[in-house]
Structure 1
Amino acid sequence: MDCSYKKIKDQLLSDIIPVNDRDLNEQTIRQRLLTRPRSEPSFSIDPEPNNYQRHLSASNLYDQADDLIDTVLEVPTKCVEQAKEVGKRVVQYVVDHSHLPQWLLDNEFLISGHRPPMPSFKKCFASIFRLHTETVNIWTHLLGTLFFIITAIYFISRPSSEVHIEKKLIFGAFFLGAILCLLCSTLYHTLYCHSPKISKFFSKLDYCGIAFLIIGSIIPLLYYQFYCEFGTKVAYLTFIGVLGIGCIVVSMWDKFSSAHYRIYRALLFITFGVFGFIPSCHYMIQFGVEHAFKVGAIQYLLLVAALYLIGACLYAARIPERLAPGLFDIWFQSHQLFHVFVVVAACVHYYGICVLSHNQTTVFGDCRNILSSNTVPIASIIS
């Protein structure tokens, strides 16, 4: 680096200093000036009166050129040094998959960009603002959490004349499930590199949050789809509650959070979601397909189910990183896509239950209208 710097500097000086003065350095000029008799006037004794002035001018020019070149070349040199320092910090901050300890190994198709063990809560939370394999996972669900918190506050704070307290409680169950799910996921992806103990604890909370989201999503559906059938609502709510508790119990099992059980985790919650769809199938059979789509907002529920299913399948199969290991280490990996599908599905579900609630008030009216002869009978669906 020093040799290159000197070569560049000498080349620039040779271009700036006049040709006749290239062999004249500062030391030679000063020596000649000092050996010149001070008492002799330059205009009468000096046979070449302009030589010293020329030498002095060349010396000043050399000094100025030297300072200017140092100043100009100093900027890129400092930039290179700073870039090297930043590069060292980045390299030290993230590691390859092969350098991770056993308890941090999860997806072997993500080759680089992993956070090493960080036994400090402060450093873990500071890593939210740095780029690594978990950055997008953190921010997708963090922004989703903030969105549903703000929406819940707005919805619940509306006056009772606009939104009845009963409706606030029903929607509150959904908001609570969505917020707990997304918040637990955010905390897990932020803190899982802290230590094995913290990683296991927040991994369990992450899976419990999924169960909370499913339960919270089904409550509004049961309430409005079987608005006048109290026994049916209680039966389905009990059934879903037992399944949800079962998922939470299994999620608290240490072995269940290991990478080996990735597919089983996905299948468990897919099964839970499918069972959660049974009440809606019952609703379509009882009131008719046309009624279910026009009034019951079943189309939104089907879209939600498709989004969850696609996201879970991508997560279980680890696509697309399986197809090109190392290419999706930071962006567009399967877990990130799964997070996006979850947030979008939760938003669609919220809109769907808003439509269902509105229809219950404006179309359903009282229970006699819901069970009127205008609905399609079961026999017509079977035939």
Structure 2
Amino acid sequence: MATCKVSGQESGLPSSTRAEAEDLELTELGPLLEVGRERKGQTSTCGNENQAAKVTQEEEEEEVRVLTLPLQAHHAMEKMEEFVYKVWEGRWRVIPYDVLPDWLKDNDYLLHGHRPPMPSFRACFRSIFRIHTETGNIWTHLLGFVLFLFLGVLTMLRPNMYFMAPLQEKVVFGMFFLGAVLCLSFSWLFHTVYCHSEKVSRTFSKLDYSGIALLIMGSFVPWLYYSFYCSPQPRLIYLSIVCVLGISAIVVAQWDRFATPKHRPTRAGNFTSHHLQQ
């Protein structure tokens, strides 16, 4: 009965009183609810951070893969190039004129037997022992270089009793042998390595034509010296003309346009006129 009364009384409370009681309960439970919300927020934040860390780690791994792939490809290409170089140096075949690159097409009258572009100087120098269009040029100039070098040293070492004016005549013959040695050395080097690359071919082509001019100049020194042995003034004039023409030919030979196959007749005409004028 008491219980019923109490419950009746509680149920009989006014609505305003019940609302106050509920607000009181919510107020008391507020900190607990906030703590629960914070824990949920922390849990969700930790989950988001872990997820973000995983995403960041995956992105870093992906970036590492992206950066590693080009390096691996680069190393693979280097190994492939080394392999190709070794094979190329060991085994190669002569090719026809039509297959040559434009910078190697210097003589269109030689249709077969050309060397392909070589990947290294070692391969170029090893090619002198093979048969191709430059074999004759290489060996004739190489043997001539050795011969004139030997004769030049032998002449310079001869006793002074074999000369009427030892110092002057040794200088005169030294100029001749120097021009011959430089011309033949530049020439055999050019014919050996000109198939290496376009830049190397152009550089040694300039040296080759410069050597030809030096040989022409040096070959005229003994002739003019003994022809005008008793006439120093005309000898000096002719020597000056020879030097001016030779230096002009060397300067012209340094032009890149002058070294192209298109100007082969121009080069031949320049050196022929230089020789005839002298």
User: 2:100: which partner in 1?
Assistant: 100
Superposition deviation, residue 185 in structure 1: 0.7
1:115 aligns with 2:115: yes
SS in 1 for 2:161: coil
- Give a deviation string over 1:122-147, Cα, whole Å, max 9, x none: 11011111111100110011111111
User: 2:44: which partner in 1?
Assistant: none
Supply the RMSD in Å over aligned alpha carbons. 1.7
Cα distance between partner residues in 1 of 2:90 and 2:109: 21
User: 1:237: which partner in 2?
Assistant: 239
Cα distance between partner residues in 1 of 2:107 and 2:96: 12
User: 1:81: which partner in 2?
Assistant: none
Using the size of structure 2 for normalisation, the TM-score is 0.65
Cα distance between partner residues in 1 of 2:98 and 2:147: 37
User: 2:274: which partner in 1?
Assistant: 272
Q: What 5-or-longer segments of structure 2 have no aligned partner? A: 1-88
Superposition deviation, residue 91 in structure 1: 8.2
Cα distance between partner residues in 1 of 2:90 and 2:135: 14
Amino acid at match of 2:97: H
User: 1:134: which partner in 2?
Assistant: 134
Amino acid at match of 1:128: I
Superposition deviation, residue 92 in structure 1: 3.4
Cα distance between partner residues in 1 of 2:276 and 2:224: 15
User: 1:4: which partner in 2?
Assistant: none
User: 1:250: which partner in 2?
Assistant: 252
Superposition deviation, residue 149 in structure 1: 0.6
User: 1:156: which partner in 2?
Assistant: 156
1:190 aligns with 2:169: no
User: 2:183: which partner in 1?
Assistant: 181
Cα distance between partner residues in 2 of 1:172 and 1:116: 39
Cα distance between partner residues in 2 of 1:229 and 1:200: 42
Query: Following superposition of structure 1 onto structure 2, how do residues 198-237 of structure 1 map, counting pairs within 5 Å?
Result: 198-237=200-239
- Give a deviation string over 1:324-345, Cα, whole Å, max 9, x none: xxxxxxxxxxxxxxxxxxxxxx
**For the structure 1 residues 118 and 257, does the alpha-carbon distance in structure 2 shift closer, same or farther, using more than 3 Å as the test?**
same
Cα distance between partner residues in 2 of 1:91 and 1:150: 35
- Give a deviation string over 1:243-291, Cα, whole Å, max 9, x none: 1111000000111111111111111111111111xxxxxxxxxxxxxxx
Cα distance between partner residues in 2 of 1:166 and 1:274: 27
Superposition deviation, residue 165 in structure 1: 2.6
Runs of 4+ in 1 over 2 A off after TM superposition: 89-93
**For the structure 1 residues 90 and 136, does the alpha-carbon distance in structure 2 shift closer, same or farther, using more than 3 Å as the test?**
farther
Cα distance between partner residues in 1 of 2:153 and 2:240: 28
> Which structure's relative contact order is higher, taking Cα pairs within 8 Å and 6+ residues apart?
1
Cα distance between partner residues in 2 of 1:172 and 1:92: 42
Cα distance between partner residues in 2 of 1:170 and 1:199: 33
Superposition deviation, residue 112 in structure 1: 1.5
Cα distance between partner residues in 1 of 2:108 and 2:229: 49
Cα distance between partner residues in 2 of 1:109 and 1:222: 38
**For the structure 1 residues 246 and 179, does the alpha-carbon distance in structure 2 shift closer, same or farther, using more than 3 Å as the test?**
same
- Give a deviation string over 1:353-382, Cα, whole Å, max 9, x none: xxxxxxxxxxxxxxxxxxxxxxxxxxxxxx
Cα distance between partner residues in 2 of 1:226 and 1:263: 34
Cα distance between partner residues in 2 of 1:90 and 1:104: 21
Query: Following superposition of structure 1 onto structure 2, how do residues 313-328 of structure 1 map, counting pairs within 5 Å?
Result: none
SS in 1 for 2:137: helix
SS in 2 for 1:93: coil
Superposition deviation, residue 90 in structure 1: 9.8
Cα distance between partner residues in 2 of 1:111 and 1:228: 53
Cα distance between partner residues in 1 of 2:106 and 2:91: 21
Cα distance between partner residues in 1 of 2:125 and 2:258: 26
User: 2:23: which partner in 1?
Assistant: none
Cα distance between partner residues in 1 of 2:92 and 2:173: 46
Amino acid at match of 2:124: C
Cα distance between partner residues in 2 of 1:215 and 1:265: 17
User: 2:84: which partner in 1?
Assistant: none
Higher helix share: 2
Amino acid at match of 1:156: M
Larger Rg: 2
Q: What 5-or-longer segments of structure 1 have no aligned partner? A: 1-88, 277-383
